[in-house]
Amino acid sequence: MFIPLIKSFYRTLATTVTLLPIILNVYFVGDMVTSLLYIPLLTLALAILFVYFDKRLNELLAPLKQSKVQRDICEKRVNSTFAHTTNT
């Protein structure tokens, strides 16, 4: 439950920050060069940066998720063994 919450919070934050230059450009009208060159390049750079960090975040959280899966498997084995020994 905790890992998907971290991922969704990060992705929401990344989307907001990536779209922020476009929103600010609409709100504060800039000149033509800013609108056609700098804002799209900044948005593209932010998108690439956040995709890179998302990949790193997934790599960082993968062992935590896998250890939880292994822990669940161990608990099921112990519970089934315990249930089997108490029933006989």
The pLDDT, as a whole number, for residue 77 is 66
Q: What is the CA radius of gyration of the chain?
A: 23
Domain that holds residue 38: 2-87
**pLDDT bucket at 56, cuts 50 / 70 / 90:** very high
The pLDDT, as a whole number, for residue 41 is 95
The pLDDT, as a whole number, for residue 44 is 95
Which residues are within 8 A (CB) of 80 and not within 5 positions of it... i.e. 6 or more apart? none
pLDDT tops 80 at residue 81: no
| pTM of full prediction above 0.85 | no
Into how many domains does the chain fold?
A: 1
Among 6-20, 32-46, 55-69, the range scoring the smallest mean pLDDT is: 55-69
Q: What is the average pLDDT score of the chain?
A: 83
Which residues are within 8 A (CB) of 3 and not within 5 positions of it... i.e. 6 or more apart? 61, 64, 65
